[in-house]
Amino acid sequence: MAEIINLRLARKARQRADAASTAAENRAKFGRSKGEKARDAADAERLSRTVEGARRERDEQGDN
């Protein structure tokens, strides 16, 4: 026979697990120091400048 489970307890356990995973994601996303945020912003800016500097310019007619 199948094991009897309490659906209310199973639902609450699933909700707790979902809340814990959401909390872990938020800690990773928002729980950074000012220095880490500045470093990430500088990396993104450097990457943007590199891509823009390597971009080819097109003719006015749209030909490559």
Taking only the tens place, the pLDDT of each residue in 16-35 is 999 999 999 999 888 888 99
What pLDDT is stored for residue 59 in this prediction? Answer: 60
pTM of the model: 0.46
Mean pLDDT for the stretch of residues 33-46: 93
What CA–CA distance (Å, rounded) separates 64 from 8? 64
According to DSSP, residue 61 is labeled T
Which H or E run contains 12? helix 7-30
Place of tokens 């489970």: 5
**SS (HEC) of 15-56:** HHHHHHHHHHHHHHHHCCCHHHHHHHHHHHHHHHHHHHHHCC
Residue 14 has pLDDT above 90, yes or no: yes
Of residues 60 and 53, the one with the higher pLDDT is 53
Residue 7 confidence class, pLDDT cut points 50, 70, 90: very high
